[in-house]
Amino acid sequence: MKSKASRIGLCLLMLAVLFASAPSPARAEAITINENTVAPVTFGILVSCAAGGAGEMVDFTGNFHYIYTLTISESGQTHYRFSTQAQNVVGVGQVTGDSYVYSGGYMETGVLSLGEIGTTLSDFRVIGQGAGNNFIAHTLTHFTFNANGDLVVDFVITGATCM
C-alpha cells in the first residue's frame, strides 16, 4: 500500500499536469489608436487641358487632414478606417499663373496583417481659373504598418483627366 505522502504527491502532480494542460487566457488585448493630424503637402501635376490646351505644370501647396482609427487584435491584424481631406490646397500654373483649388477627400476601411501593404485609388476634383481648366487628379496611396506598428503612408499623384 502506498504511503499517504506518495498519494498526496501523486495528487499534486496530477493537479499540476491538469493546470498546465488547460488553455490559458490570452495575455495580449486588442488596442485601439485614434489619430487626427494635419500635414503640409507640396506637389505638382501636369495638366494637359491647361494653358488653352497646351498643357502646363501646376504647383500645389496646402494641407491634407488625415484621420485614422486602428484596432490591433491579439493576432496582429489591424482593422483600420482611414480618411483624408484636402484643406486649403491651392495651385498656380507655372506658365499662365492661373489659380487652381484642389478639393475633396476619401475614406477607406479594411483589415491588414503586420507588414501587409494596403492600396487605395481615389480622385480629387480640381477647379481651375477660366474655361476648360477643371480636372480630376488621380491619386494612389500605399500604406502599411511596419514592424513597430507605425503607420507609413506613401501618397502619389498618378495623373489628371480634364473635365
**What's the rounded mean pLDDT across residues 2-25?**
34
**What's the rounded mean pLDDT across residues 27-44?**
84
Q: What is the pLDDT of residue 28?
A: 58
Q: What is the pLDDT of residue 149?
A: 66
Helix (H) or strand (E) holding 115: none
Domain boundaries, given as residue ranges, for the chain: 31-162
Q: What is the pLDDT of residue 21?
A: 34
Return d(Cα 63, Cα 40) in angstroms, integer. 4
pTM over 0.75: no
Q: What is the pLDDT of residues 49-92, one digit of tens each?
A: 888 888 899 999 999 998 988 888 887 777 888 888 999 999 99
Q: What is the pLDDT of residues 113-162, one digit of tens each?
A: 766 777 777 888 899 887 788 898 888 777 776 777 677 777 777 778 88
Q: What is the pLDDT of residue 71?
A: 87
Q: Flag whether pLDDT at 99 surpasses 90.
A: yes
Return d(Cα 92, Cα 74) in angstroms, integer. 48
Q: What is the pLDDT of residue 40?
A: 93
- The residues, ordered by sequence, that sit 6+ positions from 81 with a Cβ below 8 Å of its Cβ are 68, 69, 107, 108, 109
Report, in this order, helix, strand and coil percent for the chain, each rounded to 5. Answer: 15, 60, 25
| Residue pair 133/100 in contact by the 8 Å Cβ criterion | yes
Q: Flag whether pLDDT at 12 surpasses 80.
A: no
